[in-house]
Amino acid sequence: MKNDNTLKTLTAAGLLALAVACEQPAQNKLADNLYMYTIEVQQKYLLLPIENEATEVKMELLVEGKNIGELMNIRIAQNQIDYWIPIEIEAYKGKKLTLSFNEAQNARMGFSKIKQSANYNFVYQEKYRPLYHFSPQYGWTNDPNGMVYYKGEYHLFFQYNPYGCKWGNMHWGHAVSKDLVQWEQLPYALAPDKLGAIYSGCVVIDKDNTAGFGKDAMVAIFTSAGEQQVQSLAYSLDNGRSFTKYEGNPVLTHPTIVDFRDPKVFWYAPTQQWIMSLATSQSITFYGSKNLKEWTQLSEFGEGIGNHDGVWECPDLFPLTYEGQTKWVLFVSINPGSPNGGSATQYFIGNFDGKTFTPDPLPYPLWIDYGRDNYAGVTWNNVPAEDGRRLFIGWMSNWDYANEVPTTNFRNAMTLARTLNLAHNGEHLVVASKPVKEIERLRCETISLPNKTATTTTFEQLLNNNDGAYELTFSIIPNGSDNFSFSLLNDKGEELTYIFDIANKTLVTNRAKSSVAFNANFAAMLIKAPLTAKKSYTIRLLVDKASTELFVNDGEVVQTNTIFPTEAYNALRFKTDKGTLSIKNVTIYKLSASETAISYLIENYLKK
């Protein structure tokens, strides 16, 4: 993919074509609400000063008077500069480049700071940047999209705003990994066009060239979100490094459904056709196609079942095996409607006959993760049969506060990649999840603590030089106790507490004192999950600076919750009000930073 594609998403045809035909000074007010910025390109980047709370202005770019790309919204600094956003302009060296802004009467300070630069340096490893989760280098991310395995690489596309740290200007960002742990971010894959922004979707490998784009073409199926939400195609013949949009887009429309989005597609061999799951307001509609271009409605699912408190989004239909029997699982994300506020992902277990999904009678709604910060997750396509895993990743945030989390150059990250399986929790089937085994490669230091039986006990100083990236594993046996807890603590009085309320069959997370204050919805409520009473509980907790992922009993119950403490939690406390707790096999693994994080540290610090 050419490096100049960043530029091509910035403009909207026709706004100022006549005005820029003549040369303008670097900053020129043409009207009360219209500004121009014209330069001769000499450097690699154009740096724009951004203020998170500034009013959005419309921005377009022209090269030698020609509009490039689509209109973008950007928060040019009005009172202060929070961070800088780069536009790569090297491909236009020696040419006249013009940025035009409308509705921009309050952004004079920001216009005066726009500059060319040979480098884009920023503090990559800021306070809440995860060390081993994927996060974009800069800008905003939400839903994971288009996950597919191909030629030794796991591809992760994602909803991406490269022009600011709040939602907007939806592109598909792109990262690849050989092991689901070390991620390399590539230039973004898809940018807005005349049909609209690029919303969520999927990628398939067209092994038999059913679409006519080429054998083994990597085909993206996504929602174009303009005046209407419609489904479109793009294809890549170079392992995802560049995509060509299908000239016949859109391939699927609906005249009346407003929320018509997020296609997830797979090949269903028994009927020799592609199956699409599509979110259609308060239902999931299934479509079939022989060629990815022409779609026929097969059935609809959702009426009278599950949670309907918000719009249904980001479906995923896939098989899992339990005790030799194939079952089908349908994921449906919903916002709002989470049992703990905001956004979450529910699921259904049942059967699929190539046309209709029929759910088993289970106590719906069921949730893949009862924490507040795992949304819109879907699974990888084309994972080799010899691997055998159903691999999943989610967006690690919540729409209640995602636009306000206290980071600077980026906002939000992905969960760890996880393996899904069906399990029986003692009452019914559930979709269990656990981190992929590859994460264990990051274990660089191991500390084992002594077994204890007590009513209250605290392990101080879990790690020397604790940078907030570690894994805890242990088991708890409650002896005569039906309510106990464990907590992570730091020296600032901040804590994150997990309460096992066995009497009420509830696992509760309390993060009221866990973090710096930034949003009233963040820590206002207790975060609850159903808990089956058992004689013992195995715990696996992964912490990465601003996130916690708790897996109970091999992932039968999962809670993912972000945190923003003043300093790393470095103590572990257990407590019960009656009886005792037997705490066994407490192990702390210090986790090393991913190679991605290390490389950015070197680039942004050691090379200066």
Instruction: Name the residues annotated as catalytic.
Output: 143
Report which of 288, 349, 289, 276 is spatially closest to residue 315, judged by C-alpha positions: 276
Phi, psi angle pair for 584, to nearest 5°: -125, 150
Please give the single-letter amino acid code of residue 186: L
Residues 6+ away with beta carbon under 8 Å from 466: 568, 570, 590
Paired strand residues for 86: 47
Distance, CA of 450 to CA of 586 (rounded, Å): 7
Report which of 204, 244, 200, 196 is spatially closest to residue 220, judged by C-alpha positions: 204
Tokens of 459: 């392990």
Report which of 249, 203, 204, 202 is spatially closest to residue 229, judged by C-alpha positions: 249
The Cα angle at residue 13 between residues 409 and 49, in degrees rounded to 5: 25
Phi, psi angle pair for 437, to nearest 5°: -65, -25
Distances 347 to 99, 302, 368, 489 between C-alpha atoms, Å: 46, 11, 7, 34
Distances 98 to 83, 360, 496, 588 between C-alpha atoms, Å: 22, 59, 50, 55
Distance, CA of 68 to CA of 403 (rounded, Å): 28
Distance, CA of 280 to CA of 299 (rounded, Å): 12
Distances 493 to 426, 567, 570 between C-alpha atoms, Å: 38, 10, 11
Distance of CA 438 to the CA centre of its chain: 19
The DSSP annotation for 385-437 comes to TTT--EEEEEE-S-TTTGGG-S-SSEE--BPPPEEEEEEE-SSSEEEEEEE-G
Cis ω for the linkage preceding 315 (within 30 of 0):
no
| Contact call for residues 314 and 331 (beta carbons, < 8 A) | yes
Residues 6+ away with beta carbon under 8 Å from 385: none
Count of Cβ atoms closer than 10 Å to residue 310 Cβ = 17
Containing 167, the helix (H) or strand (E) segment is none
Tokens of 535: 């004689």
